[in-house]
Structure 1
Amino acid sequence: MPVDSTAGTRLLRAPRGWRRVPSMAARMQTFAWVELQKLRHDRTELLTRTVQPALWLLIFGTTFNRLHVINTGSVPYLEFLAPGIIAQSALFISIFYGIQIIWDRDAGILAKLMVTPAPASALVTGKAFAAGVRSVAQVIGVLVLAYLMGIAMTHNPLRIVAAMGVVMLGSAFFACLSMTLAGLVRNRDRLMGIGQAITMPLFFASNALYPVAVMPEWLRWLSRVNPLSYEVDSLRLLLVGIPSAHPWVDLGVLALSAVVGIAAASALLRRLVR
């Protein structure tokens, strides 16, 4: 380690290469922990967020299960629907995460974070991870409700943990998508409008409510480029046992989407503080 002979002090070099990985991971963990600490100020948030998926299962699910208007083969419709509702709930949580970034900017917090040695990608990854952890609560809530309703869902703890990982990957992408939009529009009200405009199309242009086979051809094409569809396929495989045509492709698409989302959000984050 080089020493400054005039001052008698040591000059510390910033870590480079693989040496940066531990410090990068520590910074991401710190940012994620800060985000999760916000739940301490409103512990009812996790409970209130389970109301919407409960309504989808109790009202929409039970009604269409009796009507038999959607052909899901040998799988009861409620079993087919439950993983899709988990993915939908996680989407609704994470798609508005960019609003928090704009709130931080307006409060002067973001500017202070951006002048720290931590790169923008650490901040984005930390927030994306926090969005995933919040979404995991939806997995637990829907599973408990499904057991109470007599829906045949897995009791295998390893499969449940794997499903939580899938939800975290999907939530990370949609949170990064929201933060990317925040970097583009830089306005809270405008971002809220865009989020509301794209949430339902993302949901209905996936296989969360109905099989791909019953979709018109143009909707099938949209479903193939929608990461939510791959998340739902993985959740159905893990929680219900409905086989997926390409399970590793589903995970690969989710992981790649999360990486691309982090890169895009990191590149645009500094536009918010200009």
Structure 2
Amino acid sequence: MSAVPAVPPPASAETQTEAEPDGLRLLLTPPLARTGWQVVPARVVAMCVVELQKLRHDRSELYTRAIQPALWLLIFGETFTRLRAIPTGNVPYLDYLAPGIIAQSAMFIAIFYGIQIIWERDSGVLTKLLVTPTPRAALVMGKAFASGVKAVIQAVVVIVIAALLGVALTWNPLRLLGVAAAVVLGSAFFSCLSVTIAGIVLTRDRLMGIGQAITMPLFFASNALYPVALMPGWLKAISTINPLSYQVDALRGLLLGTSDHLGRDFGVLVLAAALAIAAASSLLGRLAR
């Protein structure tokens, strides 16, 4: 009889692990899941990418949203520059107006952002997001800074229009980065304010009505169109607590070099955005119910 070949004993788990290539080991071993606040940067980036994809598929939104600021600069700005009815010192009125129109355009985009949250609630998307381990504040921040992406693109359009009209704007890259930061912070505040209102009223119709009711008062109770010194006392008090005033002041200081309060302006914008994010996060669960 022929001898039966000996069967080698099975390799131990440690031997198999050592024999496996590093790449195969990575495929078989799942990475550690991100938990808690580790997902915040990823969520913010993901939301911003989604907004950019929307704009890539539908560029008409950029063109239609550029009409209103162009009309403000072409009609209102050019007319009052010729009339010299609003004293703005050594700065031409059109130059003075341009940063205010940038802030106005960003606010008009962000203030109705709560409608998207309500649509996601109605379609079931919001409920799916809330059952993930992502913190609610991270979801709100993702939405807030995604609205800032649209606002920055809108700001670029307004700056180009203003430059074509002869507005003396700075082209310093660091100052332009500061402009983008101010626009994003202002948009974060107003979009979270919109989400907060959505969490209170719960319906799109009510949100539309309230949004339309507060946009123009916020705009006219700021220094976007005229200096604070020209306002009556009661309007000055409102302008002092209006975040839009600090955003306009920051944009004016960065683009025209007319403000020495950039630290104060950005401090107020950061505080306002943080408070708005906290308020929207607390009401996000109520919106999903």
TM-score, normalised via structure 1 length: 0.91
Structure whose alpha-carbon radius of gyration is higher: 2
**8 Å contact 2:37–2:135 — kept in the other structure?**
no
* Alignment of 1:272 onto 2:257: no
**8 Å contact 2:44–2:146 — kept in the other structure?**
no
Q: Could you list the per-position Cα deviations for residues 90-139 of structure 1 after superposition, in whole angstroms to 9, with x for gaps in the alignment?
A: 00000000000001111111111111111111111001001111000122
1:200 to 210, 213, 216: 216
Letter in 2 for 1:237: G
User: Partner of 1:6 in structure 2?
Assistant: none
Q: Distance in 2 between matches of 1:133 and 1:24?
A: 17
User: Partner of 2:79 in structure 1?
Assistant: 63
* Alignment of 1:253 onto 2:263: no
User: Partner of 1:231 in structure 2?
Assistant: 247
| Alpha-carbon distance change, 35 to 142 in structure 1, aligned in 2, over 3 angstroms | closer
User: Partner of 1:176 in structure 2?
Assistant: 192
Letter in 1 for 2:236: R
Q: How does 1:5-24 map to 2 (within 5 A)?
A: 20-24=36-40
Q: Structure 1 unaligned runs (5+)? A: 1-9
Q: How does 1:32-181 map to 2 (within 5 A)?
A: 32-181=48-197
Please, which moves more after superposition, 154-163 or 88-97? Answer: 154-163
**8 Å contact 1:35–1:127 — kept in the other structure?**
no
Q: Distance in 2 between matches of 1:47 and 1:161?
A: 23
Q: Distance in 2 between matches of 1:21 and 1:183?
A: 23
Q: Distance in 2 between matches of 1:196 and 1:149?
A: 29
Letter in 1 for 2:287: L
RMSD: 1.8
TM-aligned CA deviation for residue 66 of structure 1: 0.7
**8 Å contact 2:192–2:277 — kept in the other structure?**
yes
Q: Structure 2 unaligned runs (5+)? A: 1-28
Aligned length: 261
User: Partner of 1:3 in structure 2?
Assistant: none
| SS of structure 1 residue aligned to 2:87 | coil
Letter in 2 for 1:199: T
TM-aligned CA deviation for residue 192 of structure 1: 0.2
TM-aligned CA deviation for residue 181 of structure 1: 0.3
Q: Distance in 2 between matches of 1:207 and 1:147?
A: 21
Q: Distance in 1 between matches of 2:46 and 2:33?
A: 19
**8 Å contact 2:37–2:138 — kept in the other structure?**
no
Letter in 2 for 1:262: I
User: Partner of 1:7 in structure 2?
Assistant: none
* Alignment of 1:263 onto 2:272: no
Please, which moves more after superposition, 180-189 or 111-120? Answer: 111-120
TM-score, normalised via structure 2 length: 0.86
Q: Distance in 1 between matches of 2:107 and 2:133?
A: 31
Letter in 1 for 2:217: P
TM-aligned CA deviation for residue 82 of structure 1: 0.3
Q: Distance in 1 between matches of 2:159 and 2:165?
A: 10
TM-aligned CA deviation for residue 272 of structure 1: 1.2
Q: Distance in 2 between matches of 1:157 and 1:70?
A: 31
Letter in 2 for 1:269: L
